[in-house]
Structure 1
Amino acid sequence: MKRKFLIAAVSLIFAFAWSQESSAPEVIENVLSESENSQTQSSALDETVSEETLQNSAPEIPDASLPENAASKIPDERETENYDAISGSQPSESIKFKYTREKIHPADARPKKHDTSKNYIDRSKNYEKNCNDILKYGLEGQITELIDELTKNQDNRFVDGIYDLFQETKSVAVKEKILEYFTKLKDPCLASYAVEIINDPYDEKNSIVEKCFKYISEADIKDANPGLVDLVDKEEDAYFTGALSALGETGGREEALFLADYLDRDDLNVSQRQALMRVLGRIKAVETWQKISEIAKDENENTFVRMYAAEAIGAMEKPESEDILVELFESNDPNLRTYVIKGISYFNDKKSSDLITQALRDSQYKVRLEAVSAVGKNRINNAVPFLIFRCKDKDEQKQVKEKCYSVIADLNTSEGNDYLISVLKDKKIGDAAKAKVSAALLEYNHAGTKEVIELARSALKSDIQKNLRYALGKEFAKYDRSEFADICAEYIASDDVATQGTGLDIWAKGRYSSVKAAVEEIAKDAEEEVLPEEKEKPKGYQFGAKKKNANAKKAKRILEQS
């Protein structure tokens, strides 16, 4: 291109020169000289720019002879790209925390060695054999029913057989039940399977994926975190909430930093933002505190998002959260006030105790109910008089009263114990309330056991109090305590079938030696045959026939379990 331009220029010069009667060679020499000088200057300019570019690409070293502030500052690339999650500042919308952990596949593992000396409901060898046979040879329905029973009882005698069954079964129903079983035991033996599902859930049934989310959460399988982060990042409705919830149990600092970026996003729906608030609080992501505290204070924000944000900043346990929560409690929204109490219950000082005590007098029962729970959680003994007042208030909600009974029994103050015992003796108070108070006293076992037993004896004598009798019997059957032996015998001696059956439940738990003979006597009816003379009587003829005890088979089964 330059050559063509030069030729054209020379041609014009020739024409001009001849017209001016100048020497052509002289003119040409001048033109060529100017062109060469122009190229030299252009080359020198390019070299200058190149040198300046290279110099600017490296940090400038300030001249030591100049004042400190006179040296021009060259920004550090690492500094501009660093996401400051603590302060909430973000230099550029395009810059975000990069989660770098790769998906992994944990090795297979056998179930943990569980304590097999615990007091199982059925300890007979026959029961163990029957369970093992079902696991090996049973139908799908039989297996799922058995695993349901073992899960409910947290029976860990069969972990190896159940684990082996999981490896070979093709039944989705059986797999789900086994996942539930090991979830209840919090045994990470299925981590390899669960992590594989989380890493690639798309060809699996949603029910299996949901079970894996719960299993990972309960068994605290941190190897699943990269897969969970990936599912959250993809924002697929089918997996987002489950993955986010699981991260709330297993996540650490890196996962918290990853989730922090979501606080700036505008494309999340309300339910996703709610879930995000709860999770960030659960994993105590203090790096996000500044942003979440601003969300909690923002009156234009969705109410439910603010609620969970209030709880989250409390869960992070930063001292600055207390003043914010105290201020938020002045809100007219009872739901927000409820979650303020949830949040401030993570602190246990005068400021939090004062607010919780104040909440016991809130106009909304949900706020009061949460405040009662907080009193128990933080062991605020000074609040017991407030709880007693709530119990005596005829207008108080049933849920609040029942929660008060439990917390008072747990705190074990003399004033509280005296009040609960007085409820058992007060004839004006209904049996339903007495049953709840008895349950609370027996659960914490600080006081009132003798009075509860006397109340049961009174109920055994009155058919009007059958419901109270049954309710107290169920409470006795929860505990193995020697002081229950006599009342157990009295239940078993009852002519009422249901009462006697409840007595057998009490004995099954405590195995009181003084009552065993009575249980064996009942069990005899399960073994006796009909007398020969009775066989000859007409089929419909019942006069004189011995009536079998309806609890006989139950008594026999309980004896076989010992």
Structure 2
Amino acid sequence: MKNIKKELNFFLKLSVLSFLLVLNLTLQLAAQEASQPPSENKAAETDEKKKKEVSEFEEKRDTILYGIGDDILELIKRLKADEDDRFDADLQKIFAETKIPAIRDALFAYFAEKKNDCLKADALMVLENKDDNPQETVRSAISYIRELAIYEGIDSLRKILKDEESEYRDLCISAIGKIGKPEDAVFLTELFDSEASDDEKKSLIIKQNIMFALEELHTPEIRDFLIRVAEDTDENAIIRGTAVSALGKIGDERAIPILSEIFEDKDPILRTAAIKGIAGFKDAKAKNIMIQAFKDSYYKVRLQAIQSAKEEKAEDAVPFILYRAKKDPENTVRLAAIEALSHFNNAEANEWLVDSFNEEKTGLSLRLKIAESLLKNNFDIIYEDVKTAALKAISEKRKNKFSAELGKVISTVENKGTAPIAEAYLNHKDPIFKSIGLDMFKRNRYAELIPLVSLIAEDEKNGALSRRAKDLLQLSPTESKTGETASQSQAGNTNSPQDNQTGK
């Protein structure tokens, strides 16, 4: 028994000595680390961060230069989503070298969306040699030419239509409507009149597409043609309606009696088209027709009246739009009216919009629409109310849906005044709210929130959020989308939210 006690005492003393030894070593290491100047610690962290950024940059570049097709396609999607343009020169080079049609198609779409004409020569070459390229690549090239309005491609587009190559017909018609000149509009009217397909449905689609293109061109050279089609009661209603709308866009007041007569038609498609066409005219008869459109029994006519009044900045239409926002039986019309009101900055309308946003009984969709519309078009009217609502809702679990949806709306607004809201979302424990906060940061590049986003990036426990934060910091972390440099941001943004308006 005594031997056992001796052994226990021995092991106890040994354990205590071991603990003291480990503790002493730990204290020494901590002292050594603490003795290092803070600047050296910070420099080491900065160097490590730079190494990670360089590594991830090189990884993406290596994918472009050496990756297989699927990897490159996936990266193109990612770069597009992140609005990352650091690799555009490499992607342009890949386009010239690749033999994979899907990559060429993806790059046409990628640069078309960015309005970058770096593939202009390639697109024209594809059209000139369309028989040597896959159909999808030809279609992508036509879409690229349309989006960038490359008029040099017009002869190729017209040739394809003359040759009646149906696989490209609709795209070519649409492209001519976007980039064409008066002589091209005349060409389309001749194509319309010569259309004689045996397939009635196919013929109708072709003629409708031609008319949509002519509406976009709306040149005076085709006025007589449009009148003829608009007055042709045997013609399809959609085709007639598009001719009516195009006729109004030309701006010739001689069209008012025709548009007035068509507004009395029992077909709501034609009444809608008449309102679309007559909106630009300022005489008393045209204005009276517009007023009647706000009371039309068919909701699409009311929608068009709201849209036309907004486009024409018709201040005298505000009372009618406000009534639609308050009372219309169709939610679609109410939402459209709310969006239109946000453009007018009318005192009565603004008061109703703010009061309705703050009233929970208003309904989620309407409250969100009010916030979205005013934040984009009249920021200072609603910002403080939105900030108060967002910060309150994010702290109440029962309002998770509202706070998440409101956060998504705020993330679409380009205005650095939303930084306090973004900070609250980034600090939230829920990954969903953190992600919404990153959406806000992506949109506005708040200089003061870079350290907070860096913390999310450095914490590997955040998983996908960590990787996304790293990507956002790499995307020119010292430069905003609007071109504001880091030196400007770090110098201090003392403007109020009102001073930061971008929607006006």
Instruction: Tell me the distance in 2 between the aligned counterparts of 1:401 and 1:259.
Output: 38
Deviation at 1:290, TM superposition (A): 0.8
2:247 paired with 1:313? yes
Q: Deviations over 1:56-101 (max 9, x none)?
A: xxxxxxxxxxxxxxxxxxxxxxxxxxxxxxxxxxxxxxxxxxxxxx
2:180 paired with 1:251? yes
Deviation at 1:448, TM superposition (A): 0.8
Checking the alignment, whether the CA contact within 8 Å between 1:216 and 1:224 is kept in structure 2 is yes
Residues 491 and 154 (structure 1), Cα distance of their counterparts in 2 relative to 1, 3 Å cut: closer
Q: Deviations over 1:469-521 (max 9, x none)?
A: 01122233334544333333333443434234433443454454655555555
Checking the alignment, whether the CA contact within 8 Å between 2:435 and 2:465 is kept in structure 1 is no
Instruction: Tell me the distance in 2 between the aligned counterparts of 1:237 and 1:443.
Output: 42
Deviation at 1:210, TM superposition (A): 1.7
Residues 549 and 177 (structure 1), Cα distance of their counterparts in 2 relative to 1, 3 Å cut: closer
Instruction: Tell me the distance in 2 between the aligned counterparts of 1:250 and 1:209.
Output: 18
SS for the counterpart of 2:131 is: coil
More helix per residue: 1 or 2?
2
Checking the alignment, whether the CA contact within 8 Å between 1:249 and 1:283 is kept in structure 2 is yes
Checking the alignment, whether the CA contact within 8 Å between 2:151 and 2:180 is kept in structure 1 is yes
Q: Deviations over 1:217-265 (max 9, x none)?
A: 1111111111211222222322222211111112213223323323433
Residue 185 of structure 1: aligned partner: 114
Q: Identity across aligned pairs (percent)?
A: 29
TM-score normalized with structure 2 length: 0.76
Instruction: Tell me the distance in 2 between the aligned counterparts of 1:349 and 1:148.
Output: 50
Q: Deviations over 1:345-379 (max 9, x none)?
A: 34455544433332122111122222211111111
Residue 219 of structure 1: aligned partner: 148
Residues 342 and 157 (structure 1), Cα distance of their counterparts in 2 relative to 1, 3 Å cut: farther
Residue 387 of structure 1: aligned partner: 321
Residues 167 and 523 (structure 1), Cα distance of their counterparts in 2 relative to 1, 3 Å cut: closer
Checking the alignment, whether the CA contact within 8 Å between 2:454 and 2:473 is kept in structure 1 is no
Residues 173 and 352 (structure 1), Cα distance of their counterparts in 2 relative to 1, 3 Å cut: farther
2:89 paired with 1:160? yes
Instruction: Tell me the distance in 2 between the aligned counterparts of 1:258 and 1:511.
Output: 48
Instruction: Tell me the distance in 1 between the aligned counterparts of 2:213 and 2:447.
Output: 51
2:470 paired with 1:557? yes
TM-score normalized with structure 1 length: 0.68
2:279 paired with 1:279? no
Residues 223 and 506 (structure 1), Cα distance of their counterparts in 2 relative to 1, 3 Å cut: closer
1:503 to 396, 415, 437: 437
Checking the alignment, whether the CA contact within 8 Å between 2:341 and 2:349 is kept in structure 1 is yes
SS for the counterpart of 2:361 is: coil
Instruction: Tell me the distance in 2 between the aligned counterparts of 1:177 and 1:302.
Output: 37
Residues 391 and 559 (structure 1), Cα distance of their counterparts in 2 relative to 1, 3 Å cut: closer
Q: Deviations over 1:253-296 (max 9, x none)?
A: 32233233234336152122212222223223322211221110
AA partner of residue 252 (structure 1): K
Show the 5 A alignment for 1:287-326: 287-326=221-260
Instruction: Tell me the distance in 1 between the aligned counterparts of 2:156 and 2:464.
Output: 54
Instruction: Tell me the distance in 1 between the aligned counterparts of 2:457 and 2:79.
Output: 26
Q: Flag structure 1 segments of 5+ consecutive residues without an equivalent.
A: 1-122, 527-547
Residues 200 and 347 (structure 1), Cα distance of their counterparts in 2 relative to 1, 3 Å cut: farther
Instruction: Tell me the distance in 2 between the aligned counterparts of 1:143 and 1:467.
Output: 37
Larger Rg: 1
Instruction: Tell me the distance in 2 between the aligned counterparts of 1:508 and 1:230.
Output: 44
Q: Flag structure 2 segments of 5+ consecutive residues without an equivalent.
A: 1-51, 198-202, 478-504
Residues 516 and 219 (structure 1), Cα distance of their counterparts in 2 relative to 1, 3 Å cut: closer
Residue 425 of structure 1: aligned partner: 358
Residue 162 of structure 2: aligned partner: 233
Instruction: Tell me the distance in 2 between the aligned counterparts of 1:463 and 1:126.
Output: 40
Deviation at 1:411, TM superposition (A): 1.7
1:360 to 285, 288, 294: 294
Checking the alignment, whether the CA contact within 8 Å between 1:524 and 1:552 is kept in structure 2 is no
Q: Give the length in aligned residue pairs.
A: 418
Deviates more, 1:475-484 or 1:138-147: 475-484
Residues 318 and 337 (structure 1), Cα distance of their counterparts in 2 relative to 1, 3 Å cut: same
AA partner of residue 283 (structure 1): L
Q: Deviations over 1:519-562 (max 9, x none)?
A: 55555642xxxxxxxxxxxxxxxxxxxxx566872586267433
2:350 paired with 1:412? no
